[in-house]
Amino acid sequence: MFKWKKLGKVFNPKDMASPSWMHEFAQSPSVLVREDCVRVYFCSRPAPGPDGQYLSYIAFIDLDRRNLFNTLRVCERPVLELGKYGTFDEFGTYPVSVICDGDEIRAYYAGWTRCESVPFNAAIGLAVSRDGGETFQRLGDGPVLSYTHDEPFLLGSPRIRKINGGWQLWYVAGREWRMTDGKPEPVYKIRLATSDNGVDWVKLGRDLIPDKLGDHECQACPDVTYRNDRYHMFFSYRDIRNYKGREGGYRIGYASSPDMVNWKRDDARIGICLSEIGWDSEMVNYPHVFWLDGRTYMLYQGNGMGRAGFGLAVLESEDAWGQA
Amino acid sequence: MKWKKLGKIFNPTDHVLPNRCVEFAQSPQTLVLQDRVRVYFSTRERDFTGKYLSHIAFADFSRNMGELLGVSAEQVMSLGGLGCFDEHGIFPINPMRDGDRVLGYTTGWNRKVSVSADASIGLTISNDDGLTFKRYGTGPILSSSLKEPFLVADAFVSRYGDRYHMWYIYGTKWQKFTEIEAPDRVYKISHASSSDGVNWQRDGRQIISDQLNPDECQALPTVICLNDVYHMYFCYREAYGFRTDPSRGYRLGYAWSTDLENWVRNDRLAGIDVSGEGWDSQMQCYPHIFECDGRIYLLYNGNEFGRYGFGLALLEN
């Protein structure tokens, strides 16, 4: 059983004293631990356009390594421009997952485009930084992971890892658009691709995590940690209905695996739930687990899928990882 | 190469077509059967928004191509489901005999917001000599990639030795050439190969050099091997103004290769050009070469991208 102690909200762009391009949302936190700080990449949004639609950009803040509630710096501008006319990431880059690779930093992100019969589609892009993470450039105008015969649309929620030599990309793939209360709603499931170089991917081609809510369950954000010879996945899942609020909104799920491929879901072990009141009282989701100075932390986003920013929890006991 | 034009051989407005389609018979492509040549094409209906949906139909011809035997009465394949790559049209289909089955490589279209549409290549399989096809999955088998960001389309597949070869096109950019008009696209011809016809390795490069300028659009490659030389026909046009200005519209291009890797483009050797007047005087596009009973034929569309049908030419030498 994991037991997480909530430490509070870390960042909400609305709380900033000085004006910023960030209007609201701090979603999908992903960290790089540095010598003096913890850099948190996340996705934020300017005010919506006249059509009410948002664009989403990748941003970062630097947190004081000795006090993660002390923000040292907020990025002045997005680190990656949106894609060109007609490309997969023309209308947004969200979520993001970052990883160091030698002198470079790689950002894997879901790019968003807008469609006619359904509101949007997504595919997974790759951008690289050679200036320490200040700016990122795409490796190409197209996605690094795109649609295939059994993954027809909505490739998103990438989480990049290098565990035991290879590269792994956990992500979600759309299964169907289902008419729900008169609107098309997507259903998507967690999947895995592996690679020798982080660029050319081989998809495993099957759903990893059994449904809990039914076949309409939407799964996202598969955040994988390797600890005590086992793989541990913290992810998010939600209902197909009423998911913008507390009733059907994202919750955190948990699964573990001996081999990255075969997973046992056991949400009862997760040990974090909604707060009674406040910024994470309706939703706790998009967890990102990281190790820092002898403790395990979880960053997660709260209400409104991160509209109210993200916060931090700490694992009370490392025994939770279980015996090897 | 020298082609003798046999004229237009099919006009979709002369027939009752499935799926309420009324005009267009685009990108004719053949499946040679024991007693006939089945010519697939893409035809169109208008949906409730007034926009087109492309559907696959076919016309059967006698093996000497002299007689039209009939037109498909039933739907050959359905369009894709909600949100799928082929929800708003299938255009074209490349049928290929593969043992007892027929593989149909489709280009599926779906509508977008900032640009009109995107496309990917799908696979459908027929076990009844091409009367009906079933999808291999709801998604595409070849779609966008890092260097091929959109508009992956126009597959033409052949087997040489134990390899499947696919020639296809990919988009390189969408560009607004004027302030008021919708953006136009640029696309180029590429090649991929496969051991099973399903999983493909891309060369990742443009294989046919540009003749007009860097914005030249190249489409619908078709390849045949004659006397150990590979011959490719395709169509090409200017990126802008091609719908209204005949001098900027589609023409047939030609390239040859002896190794399936290096292609020498030389349109002057194509041996066919637009006519002085008539159905193929403003445009020639969507070529398809096939062999039947020792003769080499070229099917293609003419004016208005095939709104009023397709025609045939015969290789003379």
Taking CA atoms, what residue in B is nearest to A183?
A: B82
| pLDDT value of position B120 | 98
Please tell me the predicted confidence (pLDDT) of residue A323: 65
Query: What pairs with residue A160 in β-bridges?
Result: A169
Per-residue pLDDT of chain B (317 residues; tens, 9 = 90+): 999 999 999 999 999 999 999 999 999 999 999 999 999 999 999 999 999 999 999 999 999 999 999 999 999 999 999 999 999 999 999 999 999 999 999 999 999 999 999 999 999 999 999 999 999 999 999 999 999 999 999 999 999 999 999 999 999 999 999 999 999 999 999 999 999 999 999 999 999 999 999 999 999 999 999 999 999 999 999 999 999 999 999 999 999 999 999 999 999 999 999 999 999 999 999 999 999 999 999 999 999 999 999 999 999 97
Of A85, A117, A126, the CB nearest to B111: A117
B183 touches chain A (CB under 8 A): yes
- The rounded distance, in Å, linking the Cα atoms of A303 and A277 is 11
Provide, for chain B, the percentages of residues in helix, strand and coil under a 3-state DSSP scheme, each rounded to the nearest 5: 5, 50, 45
B173 interaction partners in chain A (CB closer than 8 Å) = 84-86
Q: Which residues contact A201 (CB under 8 A, 6 or more apart)?
A: A144, A145, A169, A193, A194, A195
Residue contacts between A and B (CB atoms, under 8 Å): 128
In chain A, the number of structural domains is 1
Residues of B whose CB is below 8 A from A111: none
B180 touches chain A (CB under 8 A): no
CB contact (8 A) between residue A148 and residue B143: yes
Question: What is residue B100's predicted lDDT score, i.e. its pLDDT?
Answer: 93
Residue A184 belongs to a domain with what CATH number? 2.115.10.20
Q: Cβ–Cβ of A148/B123 closer than 8 Å?
A: no
Domain around A103: 4-321
pTM value? 0.96
Instruction: Name the residue facing A184 among B82, B138, B176 (closest C-beta).
Output: B82
| Beta partners for residue B289, in sequence order | B298
Structural domain that includes position B16: 3-315
Q: How far off is chain A from B180, nearest CA to CA, in Å?
A: 16
The 10s digit of each residue's pLDDT in B165-206 is: 999 999 999 999 999 999 999 999 999 999 999 999 999 999
H or E stretch at B237: strand B229-237
| Dihedrals phi, psi of A13, to nearest 5 degrees | -55, -25
Number of domains composing chain B: 1
Q: What is the pLDDT of residue A305?
A: 86
**How far A156 CA sits from the closest chain B CA (Å)?**
15
Which chain A residue is nearest to residue B124, measuring alpha carbons? A149
Which CATH number characterizes residue B114's domain?
Answer: 2.115.10.20
Whether residues B147 and A140 touch (CB distance < 8 A) is answered with yes
Beta bridge partners of residue B303, listed in sequence order: none
Q: Residue B154's closest CA among B39, B254, B287?
A: B287
Give pLDDT tens digits for B264-292.
999 999 999 999 999 999 999 999 999 99
Confidence of residue A90 (pLDDT cuts 50, 70, 90): very high
Residue A257 in this model has a pLDDT that exceeds 80: yes
Q: Do A148 and B137 touch (CB under 8 A)?
A: yes
Minimal Cα distance from A123: which residue of B? B144
